[in-house]
Amino acid sequence: MDLNPALFAEVRSDWNLERLYADLADAKHQVAPHTKPGLTVTEKERLRGLLCGFSPAEIAKQQFKQARTVEVALCQTLYRYVETLTGRSHNALESWRDVASWLAAAGYQTSKTEINWSQAPDVSVFYGRQEELGTLQQWITSESLNDAKQSSCRLVALIGPAGMGKTALVVKLTNQIQSEFDCLIWQSLRHAPTLERVLGNWLQPLLNDSAELPPHLHDKISCLTKYLRDRRCLIVLDSFDTLLNPGDFAGHYREGYENYGELLRRIGEEQHQSCLLVTSRESTKEIVMLEGPNRPVRSLELAGLGQAGREILKEALLSGDSFWDQLIRIYRGNPLVLKLVSTTIRDLFNGNVAGFLKQGRTLITTDLIDLIGKQVERLSTAEKAVLRQLAENQEPLDINDLKGLPPLEVFPALESLVKRSLVEKSAAGFTLRPVVMEYVRGLNGNSKENLV
């Protein structure tokens, strides 16, 4: 591991360092087969310094070494590796400046393309999620997954309910890994742009501003996948669920947006060196069909924050920290929900969590009503019927206890509700999440009239 990755780190935006490190390691093995495999930390630092345009003497100063020591070491190591890698004869390199020019000519220098990347939201405050960050980073950047030699993932879906922090996690992740990509695209789908419009906005700068794009959507996708094979690109599709059909079971597309399914399928199936990262409240049939633990398509369901949620309560200046874990459990560690509830507890209960919990009910604020209401409005008629029964019974129900609907409707409705994170399954059966239970029961005191 690089002990000082910040030294000469500015080079990462202009050079494909990971590929260069690997290829120079192979050249090193040819030059000095008895040395330890791979480039050393010092060799990597000096390589980055040369690529930044620093002379050996200037690199020596940054490494607190004597200039002559660094110059001799370069002549014995990196210079020889570069000669071998670029197919030149021994001692052909006459100036340290040749390193950058030769490697650029060999195709290791990149010209990073960014499309809408500045539109990614700012995430100045971030809580926990180190395990999820590590998992996603491994999926997207690792060359070895599950001990099986295979490429990193081509398609990754981050699934979770509203307010769980999907977008914040993706922003944090992409800030950490963007240097490994030649092209960065951020596409918000919040306003449901058509795929024709999206691909048109992408392909013009990716291919050539003066290039004539093919008229058919299938051919436009082919142009994109060819680019993804030629260049390492990271694409983020944020809020994919806005393309899905309200009033239907989870994962069904709105009319006119079905072609996004073809985009997911082709990027997941076809071989390339890039990655499409999708955030959504619901998965889609393409992702479900293609994903697997040993496949280049993966899906991560984002759970609550757990102990990291205490940071939110601490920021809200709530008291009674011995009760915080109980509060986090009630609201399932949802970051947005915890923020909203914390504000109300501070305003109505003077920040006393114990005082709030004595009320014996799940607090539903106006903002929470709006948040859950938007989710409920998207449900199909069958899902609303199941939701109503679970709210009326309060206790967990077995699937066979759900009445009033044909089995062919109950099963997909219940499965869809679980996918939407509105219903939870335990050994005792199926039940609503506490905030959903309180919301449904509180709809004008008559959930039946409001969920049909």
Burial of 333 from C-beta contacts in 10 A (0-12 / 13-18 / 19+): buried
Helix (H) / strand (E) containing 31: helix 17-31
Whether the pTM exceeds 0.85: the reply is: no
pLDDT in tens, 206-232: 886 556 788 899 999 999 999 999 888
Residue 198 DSSP SS3: helix
**HSE on the CB side for 426, CA within 13 Å?**
8
Mapping DSSP onto H, E and C, the string for 203-230 reads HHHHHCCCCCCCCCHHHHHHHHHHHHHH
Given this model, what pLDDT does residue 210 score? 58
Give residue 448's identity as a one-letter amino acid code: K
Instruction: Provide the pLDDT for residue 79.
Output: 96
d(CA 216, CA 292) in angstroms, rounded, equals 31
The gap from C-alpha 260 to its chain's centroid, in whole angstroms, comes to: 18
The per-residue b/e assignment along 151-164, b for 16 or more CB within 10 angstroms, e otherwise, is ebbbbbbbbbbbbb
pLDDT given at position 19: 85
- Confirm if 187 and 237 have CB atoms less than 8 A apart: yes
Q: What is the pLDDT of residues 403-431, one digit of tens each?
A: 877 878 888 999 899 888 899 888 889 99
- Phi and psi at residue 67, to the nearest 5°: -60, -45
**Taking the chain, what is the end-to-end CA distance rounded to the nearest angstrom?**
58
Pairing of the two strands 148-149 and 144-145: antiparallel
The answer to whether residues 430 and 422 touch, using CB atoms and an 8 Å cutoff, is no
3 state SS of 246: coil
Integer Rg of the chain from CA:
27
Please tell me the predicted confidence (pLDDT) of residue 130: 92
Q: Distance between CA 256 and CA 415 in Å, rounded?
A: 25
Please name which of 267, 271, 270, 285 lies closest in space to residue 156, comparing C-alpha atoms: 267
Q: Are 284 and 264 in contact (CB under 8 A)?
A: yes
- pLDDT (0 to 100) of residue 12: 73
Could you give the angle at which helices 78-85 and 67-76 cross, rounded to 10 degrees?
30
- Pull the structure tokens for residue 284: 């889609």
pLDDT of residue 80: 96
Residue type, 73: A
CA 252 remoteness from chain centre: 22
DSSP-derived secondary structure for 345-378: HHHHSTTBHHHHHTT-S----HHHHHHHHHHHHT
Could you say which residues of the chain have pLDDT below 50? 1-3, 143-149, 444, 446-449, 452
Q: What is the pLDDT of residue 146?
A: 44
The pLDDT assigned to 144 comes to 41
